[in-house]
């Protein structure tokens, strides 16, 4: 986790079922100086396997990602390693899905059309906490 130095990085994993979204998020967020991209996955089962091996601090996880879905994967990630935080990403749902995400352990729910600077600021804030 980041604690007061410009060179410190938080370990991030990106999980999304859509290849363009997955590659785009991974490429974009890995350019941030405070992030070390430690893994990517296109389904929740692979994400759990990767997380068990690489211990990400934060996971950007698609709400509708196959092989159990984002809500169940969030629960399992937190059970497996309580320090890992999850931001669920979706294309719809707003406050209803946000409440469901938080109730199930996610630290936030963001729509995929959220401006990139807002996603970056959220990631940075969570990695600095």
CATH number for 97: 3.40.50.2300
End-to-end CA distance of the chain: 8
In a domain, 15, yes or no: no
pLDDT, position 51: 96
In a domain, 83, yes or no: yes
In a domain, 4, yes or no: no
Q: Report the distance separating Cα 12 and Cα 66, nearest Å.
A: 20
Domain span holding position 116: 30-128
pLDDT, position 63: 94
pLDDT, position 8: 58
In a domain, 2, yes or no: no
pLDDT, position 5: 43
pLDDT, position 59: 97
Task: Give the chain's residues under pLDDT 50.
Answer: 1-7
Q: Report the distance separating Cα 13 and Cα 47, nearest Å.
A: 8
pLDDT, position 109: 94
Query: Coil, strand or helix: which one is 105?
Result: coil
In a domain, 18, yes or no: no
Domain count of the fold of the chain: 1
């Amino acid at each position: 986790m980041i604690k007061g130095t410009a060179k410190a990085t938080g370990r991030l994993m990106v999980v999304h079922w859509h290849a363009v979204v997955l590659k785009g998020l991974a490429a974009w967020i890995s350019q941030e100086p405070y992030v070390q991209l430690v893994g990517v996955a296109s389904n929740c089962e692979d994400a759990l396997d990767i997380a068990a091996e690489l211990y990400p601090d934060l996971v950007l996880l698609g709400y509708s990602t196959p092989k159990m879905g984002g809500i169940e994967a969030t629960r399992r990630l937190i059970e497996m390693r309580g320090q890992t935080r999850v931001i669920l990403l979706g294309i719809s749902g707003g406050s209803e899905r946000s409440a469901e995400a938080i109730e199930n352990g996610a630290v936030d729910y963001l729509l995929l059309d959220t401006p990139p600077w807002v996603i970056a600021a959220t990631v940075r804030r969570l990695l600095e906490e």
